[in-house]
Structure 1
Amino acid sequence: MRVLIVVTHLLGAGHLTRAAALARAFSQAGHATTLVSGGSPARPAGLDGVAFVQLPPVRILGTDFTTLLDEDGAPVDNFRLAERRILLLDTLRTFRPDIVITELFPFGRRVLAGEFMTFLKDARSLDPGPRILCSIRDILAPPSKPERIEETHARILENYEAVLVHGDPRIVPLEATWPVDERIRPLIRYTGYVDENPEPLEQGDRKGILVSGGSSAASLPLYRAAIAAAQEIADRPWRILIGRGVTDADFTALRHGAPSHVTIERARPDFRNLLAHAELSVSQAGYNTVVDLLRSHAKAVLVPFEAGQETEQRLRAERLKALGLAEIVPEADLSPQRLAEAVRHGLSRQQSLPPSIDLDGARESVAVAESLVPAHPALHRPVDWSPLDRALDRAGDRGGTVRFWWRDDDAVADTPQLDRLMALSRSARASVALAVIPRSLKPSLGERLRRDDAAFALVHGWSHANHAPAGEKKAEFGPHRSVDAMAAEAERALHVARDQFGHKLLPVFVPPWNRISPDLAQHLPRAGFTGLSAFNDRKEARSAEGLLQVNTHIDPIDWHGTRSLDDPKRIVARLAAAIDRRVIGEADREEPIGLLTHHLIHDDVIWTFCEKLMMHLAAREIPFLRPDDVFSRRNRITASA
C-alpha cells in the first residue's frame, strides 16, 4: 500500500513523535509511506524508509491554540497558509495514497480546519479514492460548545472509515473525555498505546533520580523546582534532561543554579535506557512519557501540565496513581518542598508492576489499515500449476523423492500476522522454522512457540543491521567486519535466543539477507551452532566440520519491484527447476527444497498464493519436513560421511 500520514504539532513534539512511530511501522511492514509535518521543523529519527515532507511551519505560544505563529513568532498570514495547502495537495496528487491518516483532526486542530477539509475533499476526489483514517491519542480535550462536537462527528461520518484510538480502554476509555455517540462508535478501533521505540530494554541496577520534561519551555517550572528539591535530597545523584524548546539562556541559567550532585544536560536519545536504570522518574504526564514509564517499570512522580485549563495529563496521571504506579504533584501545588516530599515518598514506596497494557499500537494500526484496503484482483486469478506437476511426475518416474521445508524470517513477537502464519501451518500440516531477530525479541514470541508443537526458532543474525558499505549488497555478517567481532555477536545471539525459547530453539544460524562471510561460517560450530541456512542450492552439505547447511530456494516476494507477489508463473517455474536440478544431479539431491516467507510484510495476495501452494502440494502428498528433522543429528552425521 501507499500510506500518507499528515500531522501538525503546535506545542510540543508528542503528536509528531506518535505519527513518526506509525510511519515507521507502515514502512517496516513493506508499505510505501510518506509523513507530512506542518509543525516546527524537526525530522524524527529512524525514518530512513519514509518520505518526509515539511510544510511551511506554524506553531502557537503558550496554550493559545487560536493564534498561529511562524518560526519567527510573527502571526501567520494567508500567503503562508496558501503555501502549506499547495504543497500538501501536491503531495497527495503525486503520491496517490491507498491510505490517508490525519493526526488529531477533526477532533482537534480546528484552527487548521480549512486546510484539512480542502485536503480531505481532494483525497475523496481521487480515483481510486484512499481509505481515510483519523489517529488520536487516548485522551482528548472536547470543545465546550455542543455544536462543535456535532461538527466533529459529522466530519467523521462524511470522510472517515475508522478512528484509531491509540490507547487501552482498560486505562482510559475514549468516553472518559469525549462524548461518543452511537453513530461513530462502530468506527472506533482501539490500537493500544503507540510506543515510539519498542526495542526491548536491558534492565539493571537502578540508581538516582531522572527529571525530564516535554520538548517545549512549559517544563521550566518543573526544572527549577527539581533543582531546588535536589538541595534537600543530596544523598542521590540527580540528572535533569532539558527539552530543546528551552532557550540556551534558560538552559545556561539552570546549569549555573544546580548543585554538584545534579547533572543538567539536553534531552538525550538514550532517554529510555536512562529511565530503565533510574531509581525514580520525575516528569510531566504526556502520552509518550507515560508509555516510557509503562515500558521501563520505573517509579514515578508526575507533575501533569495543566496550564490553560488542560486536563489531559492530569487525567492520565490520576489513572497511573490509581494503579499504584505514580505519585502526583499538581502543577498548582508545585514547589521545591512539595516536590521533595513526593520524591521521598516515591523512593520509599514498593514498586508495583503495571497491569497487562497493550503497547503495540503502531503494529495494530497497520493491521487495521490493511484490513480496510480492498482485495487485490490477483487474489482471484487461478494459478497454473502444470509446470510444477510435470516436474513432480518426472521426479517420480526416476525414483526421486521430493521433500520441502519451510523457513519464515524476521519474527520478533506474537502478532496478528503470526496468527495467520500459524493458522496456515496447521491447515497445511506444514511445520515452520521462524528465523528470529534476537536483539528485538519480545517475550510473547517465546510464549507462543511453547504452545505450538510445529513451530521452531532459528537464529536470524543479531539485530538485522546492515554493515555493508554504501553501494554494496546489504549484509550483517558479510566480509565487512572482523571475524572475531562477528563470531562474538553470533554467539551472543544464540545465548539470547536460547534463553527465550529453550528446547524450541534449533542452533541454526540464518544470516540476514542470506549473506555470510565464509570465514565466519568456520567459526559457527565453536560458537555453539550446528546448522546454517541461507538461500540458493547449497554447494556442499556442510560449511564447516559439524555444521549442516540446508538453504531455502523459493521466495514469493517481488523484492525489487512491487514488494507484493512476484509473477506466479515465475514462482512455479522456479519450483519446477529446483525439482529438476535435484533429479538430474545439478543440485544436492539430499537437500530439501526450502520455501522462504516473511509473514510481517505479506499482503493478502502473497498470503493467498502461499495457501494455494501448500494446499496443492498437500493434495499431491508432498511432505513438508519438520525443522528439527531437517537439522537432526542423523542428518549431520550423514552430511559428514
Structure 2
Amino acid sequence: MKRLMFYCQHILGMGHLVRSMEIVRGLTPTFQVCFINGGEIINGFAIPDGIEIVNLPAIKTDSEFRTLQAVDSNQDLAILQEVRKTQLLAVFKQFQPDVLMVELFPFGRRKFSFELIPLLEEIRAQGKQTKVVCSLRDIVVTKQNRDQHEEKVCTLMNQYFDLLLIHGDAQFQPIEETFSRIHELRCPVHYTGYVVQSQRVQSQPESAICDTSQETVLTLPQPLILATVGGGRFGHELLNAVVDTAPILEVALPHHIQVFTGPFFPDKQFADLQAKAVQCGNLTVDRFTPNLLPYMQKADLSISMSGYNTTMNVLTTGTRALLLAFTGNDDQEQRIRSEKLAKLGVVDTIQPDQLEPHRFALHVMTCLQKQPTTLEFDFNGVTKTAALLQHLVADQQVA
C-alpha cells in the first residue's frame, strides 16, 4: 500500500482540519496515511480509523492574523518552531511517504515556511521520489499586495509541487476569480469537486466530550433552528444575537434552538450564554459536537457563518440557511461564497447591523417561510481526490 503524509495547519478555526480529515478518511482504503496536525488539539474531534496522527507542538495566530503564537503560552515560539521543524523532518524520514499532501500552502500559511521549506528541500535532495501535492479550497484569500503574493505562490508551486487539487466546482467558483495567475503554474491543476462530510455518524474517541442533552435535542418533537460558528474564535456577535432573540422567538415559533459555540469559544462568554439558556425553554447551548450533520438534517433553519464546511453541510442537506460572512482582516472568502449563493436563491445573508433582537427575529421568521432552494454542485471531492492521487502514484511507478 502506498504511503501518504498529509500536513494540515489550522490557526484560528477548525475548518481546514475538518476538510482535511474528511479527505484522508476517503484515502484510507488505498493509502497508508500519516496525518500531521500543526494546530490545537480539539477534544472530541473524531479521527477516522486507520490514520496515524502526529500532533506537532501547537501554534495559532493572534486575532488579527499578524503574529504566530504558541498555544502553550509557557513555550518560546522560536524554540517551538525549531522543535517542529526537526520533528516534521524526522517523521518524513521515518514514514518515507510516496505522496506529501500540503493543505493551503503556498497559497496561504506562508508563515510556516520555517518548517515546510526545509521539508520540501529534503524531498528535492532525495530526487523527488515523494510527489508533492497542494490541497486547496475553492476561494483563495486575496491580499492587498496581490501581484506580489501571486508571484510568490507561482514561484513556490513551480519549484516544489507536482499537482494542485482545488476542492471546488469550477462552474460555480472558478479559481481565476481569486487567483489570476493559475495558468502560470507548470504542474497539473484539477478541480475535485467539493469535499463534503460523510452522512454517517462518525466514531468518537474515548476522550469525546458530548453532553447527553445533545441526543435529547435530536429526539425532540419540535422543529429545530441550529446556530453554529465553527471553531468559535469568531462569530460571537451572531451567537449573542441568537440567544438574545430566543425569548422573542419562543412566543412566535414552536421551534427549539440548538447553539454550538465551537471548542475555542471563550469560557466566560460560554458560561454567560448557558446562563441565559437556563431562562429560555426553547434554547440549548453546547460547546461542540463531532456529529453536526444530524442536526443540520433535522433543522428547519441553519444560522451560521459562511465557511467552507458549514456551507457544504447546508448545500448537501438542503437546509434553509441564514449566513453572516466573516470579514475580519479584510478576508473576503466567506463574503464571496455567501453572496454568490444568495444571488442564486440558495441562502439568505445577514449583516452585523441587522443583529438587533427584534430585527433579527423578523429575519429568522421570514427565512422560515421560504421554500428551500437546492442546486446541483459537484460534491465528489473526496472520491475524485482519491482517484487523482492514485493516478499520480501509478504514473510514478511507470516512471
| Shorter-normalised TM range | 0.7 to 0.9
Q: How does 1:370-389 map to 2 (within 5 A)?
A: 370-375=390-395
1:376, 1:59 → 2: CA distance?
A: 36
How far does residue 150 in structure 1 lie from its aligned partner after superposition? 0.3
Alignment of 1:331-350 (within 5 A): 331-350=352-371
Select the residue among 243, 259, 279 that pairs with 1:227.
243
| Mean Cα deviation higher: 49-58 or 128-137 | 128-137
Task: Give the residue type in structure 1 aligned to 2:5.
Answer: L
Residue 272 of structure 1 and its aligned partner are, at CA, apart by 0.6
- CA offset digits 1:369-397 (Å, max 9, x no partner): 111124587x89xxxxxxxxxxxxxxxxx
Residue number in structure 1 paired with 2:80:
80
- Partner Cα distance (2:75, 2:340) in 1: 38
| Aligned equivalent of 2:172 | 171
Alignment of 1:507-586 (within 5 A): none
> Counterparts of 2:189 and 2:73 in 1: how far apart (Å)?
37
The yes-or-no answer on 1:216 pairing with 2:232 is yes
Residue deviations 1:383-426 (CA, integer Å, cap 9, x gap):
xxxxxxxxxxxxxxxxxxxxxxxxxxxxxxxxxxxxxxxxxxxx
1:127 positional shift = 4.7
Which SS does the other structure have where 1:12 is aligned? Answer: coil
Q: Which residue of 1 aligns with 2:120?
A: 120
Cα distance change, pair 115–338 in 1 and its aligned pair in 2 (3 A): farther
Q: Kindly provide the CA deviation profile for residues 327-359 of structure 1, in whole angstroms up to 9, marking residues without a partner as x.
A: 100235433234223211111111112x22111
Note the C-alpha offset of 1:206.
Answer: 8.1
Does structure 1 residue 134 correspond to structure 2 residue 153?
Answer: no
Structure 2 residue aligned with 1:95: 95
- Structure 1: how far apart are the matches of 2:116 and 2:395? 28
Given the superposition, is the C-alpha separation of residues 277 and 331 from structure 1 closer, same or farther in structure 2, using an over 3 Å criterion?
same
Residue among 295, 299, 302 paired with 1:274: 295
Count of equivalent residues: 375
Single out whichever of 113-122 and 98-107 deviates more from structure 2. Answer: 113-122
Alpha-carbon deviations, 1:278-308, whole Å to 9, x = none?
Answer: 1111111111101111111100100111122
Mapped pair 1:239 → 2:258: yes
Q: 1:356 aligns with which of 376, 379, 383?
A: 376
CA distance in 1, matches of 2:141, 2:156: 17
Distance 2:173 2:363 in 1: 24
How far, CA to CA, are the matches of 2:140 and 2:233 in structure 1?
A: 22
Give the corresponding residue for 2:198.
197
Mapped contact 1:327–1:342 kept (Cα < 8 A): no
Q: Is the counterpart of residue 157 in structure 1 residue 158 in structure 2?
A: yes
Please tell me whether the aligned partners of residues 261 and 287 of structure 2 are also in contact (alpha carbons under 8 angstroms): yes
When the two chains are superposed, the root-mean-square deviation of aligned CA atoms in Å is 2.4
Residue in 2 that maps onto 1:148: 149
- Cα gap change, 1:208/1:45 in structure 2, threshold over 3 Å: closer, same or farther? closer
Q: What is the deviation of 1:77?
A: 2.5
Aligned with 2:226: secondary structure? strand
In 1, the alpha carbon distance for the partners of 2:390 and 2:51 equals: 18
- Flag structure 2 segments of 5+ consecutive residues without an equivalent: 203-217
CA distance in structure 2 between the aligned counterparts of 1:206 and 1:19, rounded to whole angstroms: 34
Go from structure 1 to structure 2 and tell me whether the alpha carbon gap of 1:352 and 1:151 turns closer, same or farther (over 3 Å shift): same
The AA in structure 1 aligned to 2:260 is L
- Contact between 1:285 and 1:303, CA under 8 Å: does it hold in 2? yes
* CA separation of 1:186 and 1:34: change in aligned 2, threshold 3 A: closer
Contact preservation (8 Å) 1:212, 1:283: yes
Deviations 1:230-276 (A, max 9, x none): 22222222111121111332211101123221111222233211111
Return the letter of the residue paired with 1:368: L
Q: Residue 95 of structure 1: CA displacement?
A: 0.9
TM-score by length of 2: 0.88
**Alpha-carbon distance in structure 2 between the residues aligned to 1:60 and 1:312:** 18
Pick one of 339, 344, 354 that aligns with 1:323: 344
- Structure 1 residues 60, 200: CA separation in 2 closer, same or farther (over 3 Å shift)? closer
Which residue identity is paired with 1:191?
A: T
The structural deviation recorded for 1:309 is 1.3
Tell me the CA shift for residue 98 of structure 1. 0.8
SS of the counterpart of 2:70?
Answer: coil
Q: What SS does the aligned partner of 2:240 have?
A: helix
* Residue type of the alignment partner of 2:288: A
Which residue identity does 1:15 align to in structure 2? H
Distance 1:333 1:117, change over 3 A: farther
SS at match of 1:364: helix
- Distance, in Å, in 1 between the alignment partners of 2:188 and 2:144 is 23
**CA drift at 1:8:** 0.7
Q: Which digits, 9 at most, give the CA deviation of each residue in 1:35-78, with x for residues without a partner?
A: 001111237413220111011110012132x3111123468532
Question: Do structure 1's residue 254 and structure 2's residue 273 form an aligned pair?
Answer: yes
- Distance in 2, matches of 1:213 and 1:76, equals 30
Structure 1 counterpart of 2:35: 35
Q: Secondary structure at the match of 1:94?
A: helix
Contact residue 27 and residue 33 of structure 2 kept, 8 A: yes
> C-alpha separation between the residues in 2 aligned to 1:240 and 1:7?
27
SS at match of 2:310: helix
Q: CA–CA distance in 2 between the matches of 1:186 and 1:86?
A: 28
Measure the CA separation in 2 of the matches of 1:128 and 1:144.
Answer: 34
Task: Give the AA of the match of 1:87.
Answer: Q
Higher relative contact order structure (alpha carbons within 8 Å, sequence separation ≥ 6) = 2
Question: How much has 1:323 moved relative to structure 2?
Answer: 2.0
Question: In the aligned structure 1, how far is the partner of 2:139 from the partner of 2:76?
Answer: 29
Shift of 1:148: 2.3
Distance 2:319 2:348 in 1: 12
Does the aligned pair in 1 maintain the 2:162–2:187 contact within 8 Å? no
Query: Which residue does the alignment assign to 1:630?
Result: none
1:12 alignment counterpart: 13
The 3 A distance-change label for structure 1 pair 318 and 304 is same
Confirm or deny: 8 A CA contact 1:68 1:76 kept in the other structure: no
Secondary structure class of the residue paired with 2:68: coil
CA distance in 2, matches of 1:158, 1:211: 43
Determine the C-alpha separation between the residues in 1 that align with 2:200 and 2:344: 25
CA distance in 2, matches of 1:200, 1:242: 20
Compared with structure 1, are the counterparts of its residues 205 and 315 closer, same or farther at alpha carbon in structure 2 (3 Å cutoff)? farther
Normalising by structure 1, what TM-score?
0.56
Name the SS of the counterpart of 1:276 in structure 2. helix
Deviations 1:121-153 (A, max 9, x none): 112222561111101111111222222210110
